[in-house]
Amino acid sequence: MSTSADLHDPQQELIDGFSIFAPPPGFYESPYPYYRALREREPVHENADGSYYLTRYEDVRRVYRTKSMTSDKTEMFTKKYGPGPLLEQHTTSMLFSDPPYHTRIRNLLRHAFTPRALAQLEHRVVDLVDNLIERCREQGGMDLVLDFAFPLPVEVICSMLGIDTSERERLQEWSRLILTPLEPTATPEMVAEGNQAVTEFSAFLRDLLAEKRVNMARGVRAGDILEDLINSQDSEDDPLTEDELVQNCILLLNGGHETTTNLVGNGMKAMFDSPDQLRALQQDPSLIGSAIEEMLRFDSPLQIGNRGIAEPFEVGGITLTTGTQVLTSIGGANHDPEAFDNPDVFDIARTPNKHLAFAAGIHACIGAPLARMEGTIAIGKLVAAFPEIERTGPVSRGGRARFRGLTSMPVSV
């Protein structure tokens, strides 16, 4: 005879009625038990809208590497946002496009991430981090997210594009408003705010481009990447149009700052939660490279990707038909025991570490070398400067499933 105790199945309870579009209470705090239950019970989980949510490493990797997958979201975004600036932004950005358009834009934006371009930015990152650390030292502590992880990446991208860093707060707000409607739980208000933000951000960039052109015509050069991109409009066979340039600069600004903030915030939280790992890095700074990779894996800054099925695709014994949308769980894949030993253990010496935090395939993050550089300098310098650094209060969370990050984490030094 079965008893209620026999029927109690905690794994199943986590996924009964699970929807990534309306995650259960507790999901934002820790999504990993849900990912685990999904991986074990329903690795190809059908969502209420007919899309699928994949949580196994190999399945997610295969989706990213399959050439026939489409990133073009014109149909989906037209339904979700209707016509307007937000639709134009997300359909002109290379992130949501396929070859040949994607290849053309990506090749042009590569200018921003050459070793030469990154080397030029490195001293800027070092200066910024040193200043933030000095301010923290004077105050005896800080909010590690608000005062450290948040200002750094946006100032770096401002430097990269030659934007005055006094504009930082406006850019961060526009960026937040443009990215929020990508969340599975977007509301009409979020879409309206996103439309307004794209309008304002585009106008700002158009003015900036006009100003740079005037200066360049006068022979006044600042040496930033925006000037290279303007120059490429004259020299390439198939140059970026003004709209493509503006929309893809918005993508660079949006893609590069919140994710990097989340790397630093989530990474340091993981260290505070495993103090032995924090001490290990302080004792052996040469571990910083593998530590950053482990932070990217353990609590990935971006947790969900999307692809469309353009040719029938078999996964987990199910054939997904053309037109089906797939959501990839980067967080689920990066905790899959089939790919990582003891995946729920934070181990800064973990090698190899083939995480999917930057995705894979043709859309793999173009900014990954910059993100790694920023993370290495920021976290390496922070833990070296403050041997006694510790968390002094509870963290606050953004409450978003795709962009996983903290909004506050007080520390003393």
Please report, as ranges, the residues that interact with ligand HEM according to CB under 6 A. Answer: 71, 94-95, 106, 157, 251-252, 255-256, 259-260, 263, 301-302, 305, 357-359, 363, 365-367, 370-371
Residues with Cβ < 8 Å from 133, sequence gap 6 or more?
A: 381, 382, 385, 386
Residue 28: which of 401, 332, 374, 362 has the closest Cα? 401
**CB-nearer residue toward ligand HEM: 14 or 359:** 359
Residue type, 314: E
Q: How far is the CB of 4 from ligand HEM (least distance, A)?
A: 43
**CB-nearer residue toward ligand HEM: 37 or 92:** 92
Residue, CB closest to ligand HEM: 367
Q: How far is the CB of 50 from ligand HEM (least distance, A)?
A: 20
DSSP 3-state of 53:
strand
**CB-nearer residue toward ligand HEM: 260 or 325:** 260
**CB-nearer residue toward ligand HEM: 197 or 253:** 253
The DSSP result for 256-302, as a single string, is HHHHHHHHHHHHHHHHHHSHHHHHHHHH-GGGHHHHHHHHHHHT-SB
Q: Which two tokens stand for residue 93?
A: 């950005």
Residue 40: which of 11, 17, 65 has the closest Cα? 11
**CB-nearer residue toward ligand HEM: 40 or 122:** 122
**CB-nearer residue toward ligand HEM: 236 or 390:** 236
d(Cα 207, Cα 168) in Å, to the nearest integer? Answer: 16
d(Cα 373, Cα 375) in Å, to the nearest integer? Answer: 6
Chain Cα centroid distance, residue 132: 23
Q: How far is the CB of 29 from ligand HEM (least distance, A)?
A: 20
Q: How far is the CB of 5 from ligand HEM (least distance, A)?
A: 42
Q: How far is the CB of 218 from ligand HEM (least distance, A)?
A: 29
Q: How far is the CB of 175 from ligand HEM (least distance, A)?
A: 11
